[in-house]
């Protein structure tokens, strides 16, 4: 079980109704259920009769404390009219896998089994993860049903192309559990506290080339910026993530990812992205200096001793932002300091005209999964935070950003 206080999940305390229809991909629903339960969601499960032949209800019941039902008419102590009770308490209805048959029923509003009756009764948002053979997916009947469900506000994740149960290869494969969970967290966050806001996040370190194979760089892993981007997405924001070279999985649901290498590229991308944005979270570790000359050919050691390396200043991105920004943009800087944490952070806050600065002692938490940061705002308030996961720090920073005066 994940420690929720240390690593707050977007699924914590959410009520998910998981519908499982009769496709061989039903086994993937078990992994989805397992993650949801571990991350603190309450999950009820409805299997169709066909799904119950492929994976037994007992498998699901062993994982969730919620109801696991198949039969519309079986007596249920927990849900006395199941299709009404389950429909009402759901924050979201996820049907994974969704077969062509089940989608056709939903599109037509049929209610001939517990899953279709509950889908008709609920006003919760609907997420469908289709799974079927290519021919069924591509059939005009299925496509019409999909279009109609989309028009009514349903969200689809997948299907993907790849190996199918028949042995053939083509479109129709159910999206993998982590992709489905990504779509689900996005849907649950859709009306979150940052809905309608546009947030720009920079992450990772920049690299300044010395020659075609060497660069000056730093140890930034990008994890803080990625955690911020994910937390903002989870709260309903539209996010642009501008990142230097990092080896991290993309945040779930991110549409706007700008990959850069140098400080100059990051400056250009950031200035372009802030137009119309509500907040800039400048978590990137931007190089302050770059080699004054970049050799066109690889520098050879035979050329003798390398006694000096002339460097020149890069532009300070936050200074450029301060000059160009619209008055509505909240700007949050990050200060990596090896000494005098608060005093240096306060100085940077003033010099860079920031609304908030996140001061980070280095190397203590550089690249680590956790951070111990101090928040300093324009009014002079200093808030030291306990050492906690970068996800928890990111949520706390966003809470502070929401509080800033426009
Ligand atoms: N920053 C920036 N452009 C740069 C360098 C830094 O926008 N060329 C931003 C960082 O993304 C961070 C903040 O400025 O949000 C503070 O970065 P830091 O490296 O701590 O500060 P510097 O201004 O570079 O000061 P110093 O290196 O002297 O501590």
**Strand 155-156, strand 126-130: pairing:** parallel
What domains can be seen in the chain, in order of their start residue? 15-188 (3.40.50.1950), 198-294+309-403 (3.40.50.10300)
- For residue 317 and ligand 1, the question of a CB distance below 6 A is answered with yes
The model's pLDDT over 76-133, given as tens digits with 9 standing for 90+, comes to 666 667 778 888 899 999 999 999 999 999 999 999 999 999 999 999 999 999 999 9
- For residue 43 and ligand 1, the question of a CB distance below 6 A is answered with no
- For residue 201 and ligand 1, the question of a CB distance below 6 A is answered with no
- C-alpha 322 – ligand 1 centre gap (Å): 13
Distance CA 77, CA 80 (A): 6
Name which of 250, 262, 144 is nearest 207 in CA terms: 262
Mean pLDDT of 14-32: 96
Distance CA 177, CA 383 (A): 38
- C-alpha 251 – ligand 1 centre gap (Å): 24
Name which of 323, 360, 248, 196 is nearest 259 in CA terms: 248
- Ligand 1 pocket check: which of 224, 314, 322, 333 to mutate, most ligand atoms within 8 Å of Cβ? 333
Distance CA 310, CA 65 (A): 65
> Quick check: 266 and 316 in contact, CB under 8 A?
no
- For residue 82 and ligand 1, the question of a CB distance below 6 A is answered with no
- For residue 318 and ligand 1, the question of a CB distance below 6 A is answered with yes
- The DSSP bridge partners found for residue 349 are none
Query: For ligand 1, atom 28, which residue shows the shortest CA distance?
Result: 288
Say whether pLDDT at 179 is over 90.
yes
Q: Three-state SS for 223?
A: helix
- C-alpha 286 – ligand 1 centre gap (Å): 6
Distance CA 34, CA 342 (A): 43
- C-alpha 82 – ligand 1 centre gap (Å): 57
Q: Residue 60 carries which DSSP code?
A: H
| Cα angle for residues 276, 282, 286 (degrees, 5° grid) | 125
Q: Three-state SS for 179?
A: helix
Q: What is the pTM of this model?
A: 0.88
| Percent of the chain with pLDDT strictly greater than 70 | 94
Distance CA 13, CA 91 (A): 10
Mean pLDDT of 120-149: 97
Q: Three-state SS for 264?
A: helix
> How many other C-beta atoms can be found within 10 angstroms of the C-beta atom of residue 133?
18
Instruction: Establish whether 218 is a catalytic residue.
Output: yes
Confidence (pLDDT) at 166: 81
> How many other C-beta atoms can be found within 10 angstroms of the C-beta atom of residue 109?
9
Confidence (pLDDT) at 337: 85
- For residue 103 and ligand 1, the question of a CB distance below 6 A is answered with no
**Strand 388-389, strand 92-98: pairing:** unpaired
- C-alpha 369 – ligand 1 centre gap (Å): 22
- For residue 284 and ligand 1, the question of a CB distance below 6 A is answered with yes
Choose the catalytic residue: 218, 293, 344, 360.
Answer: 218
The model's pLDDT over 339-392, given as tens digits with 9 standing for 90+, comes to 888 999 999 999 999 999 999 887 655 556 788 999 999 988 999 999 999 999
Question: How crowded is the C-beta side of 201, counted as CA atoms within 13 Å?
Answer: 29
Output the six-digit token pair for 97: 């896998």
Mean pLDDT of 304-326: 89
Peptide bond into 332 cis (omega under 30): no
Q: In angstroms, what is the C-alpha Rg of the chain?
A: 25
- Ligand 1 pocket check: which of 318, 321, 366, 373 to mutate, most ligand atoms within 8 Å of Cβ? 318
Of ligand 1's listed atoms, the one at least distance from the Cα of 319 is 7
- For residue 266 and ligand 1, the question of a CB distance below 6 A is answered with no
| Cα angle for residues 217, 358, 186 (degrees, 5° grid) | 90
């Amino acid at each position: 079980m994940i420690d929720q206080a240390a690593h707050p999940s977007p699924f914590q305390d959410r009520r998910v109704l998981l519908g499982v229809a009769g496709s061989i991909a039903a086994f993937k629903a078990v992994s989805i259920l397992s993650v949801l339960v571990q991350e603190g969601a309450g999950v009820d499960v409805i299997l169709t009769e066909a799904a119950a032949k492929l994976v037994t209800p007992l498998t699901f019941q062993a994982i969730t404390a919620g109801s696991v039902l198949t039969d519309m008419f079986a007596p249920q102590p927990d849900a006395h009219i199941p299709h009404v009770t389950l429909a009402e308490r759901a924050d979201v209805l996820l049907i994974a896998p969704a077969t062509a048959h089940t989608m056709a029923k939903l599109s037509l509003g049929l209610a001939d089994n517990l899953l279709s009756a509950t889908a008709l009764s609920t006003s919760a948002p609907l997420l469908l993860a289709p799974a079927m053979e290519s021919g069924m997916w591509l059939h005009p009947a299925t496509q019409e049903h999909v279009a109609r469900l989309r028009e009514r506000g349903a969200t689809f994740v997948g299907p993907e192309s790849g190996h199918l149960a028949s042995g053939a290869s083509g479109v129709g494969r159910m999206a993998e559990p982590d992709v489905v969970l990504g779509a689900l967290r996005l849907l649950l966050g859709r009306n979150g506290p940052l809905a309608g806001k546009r947030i720009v996040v920079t992450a990772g370190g920049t690299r300044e080339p010395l020659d075609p194979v060497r660069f000056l760089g730093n140890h930034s892993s990008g994890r803080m910026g990625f955690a911020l981007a994910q937390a903002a997405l989870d709260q309903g924001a539209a996010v642009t993530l501008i990142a230097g070279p990092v080896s991290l999985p993309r945040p779930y649901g991110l549409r706007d990812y700008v990959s850069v290498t140098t400080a100059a590229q990051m400056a250009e991308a950031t200035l372009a992205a802030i137009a119309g944005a509500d907040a800039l979270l400048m978590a990137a570790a931007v190089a302050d200096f770059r080699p004054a000359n970049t050799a066109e050919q690889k520098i050879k050691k035979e050329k003798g001793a390398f006694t000096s390396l002339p460097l020149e200043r890069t532009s300070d991105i936050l200074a450029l932002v301060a000059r160009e920004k619209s008055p509505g943009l909240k700007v949050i800087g990050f200060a990596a300091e090896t000494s005098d944490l608060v005093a240096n952070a306060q100085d940077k806050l003033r010099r860079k005209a920031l609304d908030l600065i996140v001061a980070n002692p280095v190397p203590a938490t550089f690249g680590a999964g956790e951070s111990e940061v101090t928040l300093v705002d324009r009014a002079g308030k200093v808030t030291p935070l306990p050492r906690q996961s970068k996800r928890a720090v990111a949520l706390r920073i966003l809470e502070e950003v929401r509080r800033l005066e426009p």
